Structure 1
């Protein structure tokens, strides 16, 4: 059976949690392969709501879950998220959760630096979650990071701490902040080590053995392709690669790892934080989409910006990430609109674009070119087959497929996991 990789094909918040949960019941392993605890997934299982930001979504169902080496791990947040789920009767042990031994750690001064930069940026803010994700990835690339495996060798950490603190103390001095308290940092690491180390494992080996045994592996992406550090709306992006290919490097399973790539796509468009958004609606329609879709960030609670479906962006996401099929979510939010609009291209100073130009100034200035489609008055909420959908809703879906040049594999019509129309089974592809 094929592996499946689930990624967001817009700016994140597309409803990946429900889809991953729906697939996780049929998977043997669920793997997070990039990002950190800035990724929010909300699961609704038997009417009970679970909010995850670091742990793989499979953990709620007891599926073996893996945090891969491509993730940056905040050990204190990990401790708290495990405790929160334990209070909801979700048991998390080394038998159902493994953390890559080579995961870089997010440390308290990473969070400090993230916030200091945002506060000093004024109108140029990136709009980060201030959780230290970016600074932790910087230390990884700069070969300064403290990793999970280092927690078992704290007595040998001196040279690495020298390099790490020399870098960060200089940055902190520029913001008028005191140097990092080395003794306190070591004490904090010693305290948290006992929480993390029982879960530490060579996950590349676990995954390799699982693949050799023909087990189904589900890779769970965070954020969305338009936030990819290479392919997104730079610099208003996250600090990791969010495209499907990262499932290989972020897990240690190799280039054939992704399998069927399922891109999650809302039936409209949303974005949290700063950055260009060509189809954004700052009017009653945008407000209506936000209210009907309950558009608030899982991690931050920030209100999401809303707009019409942008086929140009999704087509570009599908191309750069090798998407096999899409899961179209939140179709029911469009119920009752007399007319719907889809962006099919951009105009920039009289020049037509069928892709998003790379420069942020151009991205901010493009004008969407719209196609208008008749809406529907009937409800699609809870639909579980094509027969349950209004004819105009089906026409909308088919037009989306044509414009993004990618087939629909699933349609989601509510937050409930079973309110899903299966067109093409990713695990049987």
Structure 2
């Protein structure tokens, strides 16, 4: 593999982006991993050959191999969560650079996020409770939203943090304590300008590591059960117009939390080692491979150049697993429509996406097949060649085609 590559999940997240990025970094000659969306709510699992396990949130998934991480201007940076992750990794701050224009997530964003989600009761959207969406929403309404570069000016930082507190409400954390913590963050990490991204791209091959999945995209997912983040290749392409677009899928489809999931099935034996129910996202749900939704993801993401297919060992252990090639949409009384394609709506039309989600919530699997070769079958359905096969959690369980 040569040139820059962007790794994007084509599902609802949890397809294995972390382990794919780790493997790409294991091949050598990677200058840096660039994070280009989301924030501390990411959970990318990497297991090394000697058994070390880490769930990456803000550090790139090549960190255990000594590959530097750059948090681009599209990230929402949480210095408090980053400190905890750094401690678990042995404080690899020397491997980290952060764009000064990236937004800062604060305790007030997190508290407001959790209040809002808890207030929805049974109608929860599926938040991770980390305040990333609240940070993005606040920044849309307030041009003076705190950014990473503000930590270099304690007076300006204090003013902007106090404004966040006043708008979102007190959460019991003194502003001065956050100023001290964020200032210490600024003294520890290397904060850079936007030109740094161009510099490292010119210095060597880079891997862009996405977060969440295309089916959770803020504009293309099933609103309101989405993330406040652009999960397609768009941000990566804005930073680097020439790269390989690598889409990641599992051999089965998963969804963590609420929202439409047409191929969900309680009859499949699909135990999950690193995901489960949590108080904010809710249950970890599994089902048959959803070729219809994944084709939609490829289309709205602007296409993919290649695929990485993970969990290829699972179909052998799960004889009931199938590929769903169509949906039955509607009711028996009114008559079903058969969909083998989800037609994309107008960009940024959330009313359309919400109506589409409502229809998908009532849809059921249509035609289902069990392929003899899962790689060939998924490749044919998504219209892209398979570049990487993953047969287990370790880098040694993977092979390039």
Normalising by structure 2, report the TM-score: 0.88
CA distance in 1, matches of 2:36, 2:23: 19
CA distance in 1, matches of 2:118, 2:282: 17
Deviations 1:226-249 (A, max 9, x none): 111011121101111010111244
CA distance in 2, matches of 1:12, 1:103: 23
Q: Secondary structure at the match of 2:218?
A: coil
Partner of 1:72 in structure 2? 76
Q: CA deviation at 1:191?
A: 3.2
Q: Secondary structure at the match of 2:366?
A: strand
Where does 1:224-243 land on structure 2 (aligned, <5 Å)?
224-243=213-232
Q: CA deviation at 1:193?
A: 1.1
Partner of 2:273 in structure 1? 294
Q: 8 Å contact 1:44–1:50 — kept in the other structure?
A: yes
Partner of 1:42 in structure 2? 45
Deviations 1:79-135 (A, max 9, x none): 11111111xxxx5133x2101111211111111111111111012101211111111
Partner of 1:82 in structure 2? 86
Q: Secondary structure at the match of 2:395?
A: coil
Partner of 1:112 in structure 2? 111
CA distance in 2, matches of 1:93, 1:180: 29
Q: Secondary structure at the match of 1:418?
A: helix
Q: 8 Å contact 2:158–2:175 — kept in the other structure?
A: no
Q: Secondary structure at the match of 2:13?
A: coil
Q: CA deviation at 1:366?
A: 1.3
Partner of 2:338 in structure 1? 352
Q: Secondary structure at the match of 1:34?
A: coil
CA distance in 1, matches of 2:201, 2:157: 35
Q: CA deviation at 1:75?
A: 0.9
Partner of 1:186 in structure 2? 176
Indicate yes or no: 2:367 matched with 1:370.
yes
Deviations 1:387-412 (A, max 9, x none): xxxxx3xx232122212222211110
Where does 1:202-351 land on structure 2 (aligned, <5 Å)?
202=192, 204-213=194-203, 215-249=204-238, 253-254=239-240, 256=241, 259-283=243-267, 285=268, 288-289=269-270, 291=271, 293-294=272-273, 296-297=275-276, 303-321=283-301, 322-349=303-330, 350-351=336-337
Indicate yes or no: 2:399 matched with 1:421.
yes
Q: CA deviation at 1:303?
A: 4.3
Per mean C-alpha deviation after superposition, the further-off stretch among 59-68 and 216-225 is 59-68
Q: CA deviation at 1:337?
A: 3.8
- Root-mean-square deviation (CA, aligned residues, Å) is 2.2
CA distance in 1, matches of 2:168, 2:188: 29
Deviations 1:243-283 (A, max 9, x none): 0111244xxx35x05x1011110000111000000000023
Q: Structure 1: give runs of 5+ residues left out of the alignment.
A: 170-178, 375-391, 424-429
CA distance in 2, matches of 1:419, 1:105: 37
Partner of 2:374 in structure 1? 396
Indicate yes or no: 2:21 matched with 1:20.
yes
Q: Structure 2: give runs of 5+ residues left out of the alignment.
A: 331-335, 344-352
Q: CA deviation at 1:180?
A: 5.9
Partner of 1:60 in structure 2? 64
Per mean C-alpha deviation after superposition, the further-off stretch among 326-335 and 341-350 is 341-350
Q: CA deviation at 1:341?
A: 1.8
Q: Secondary structure at the match of 1:347?
A: strand
Q: Secondary structure at the match of 1:42?
A: strand
Deviations 1:153-190 (A, max 9, x none): 12134664565344324xxxxxxxxx4679x2133212
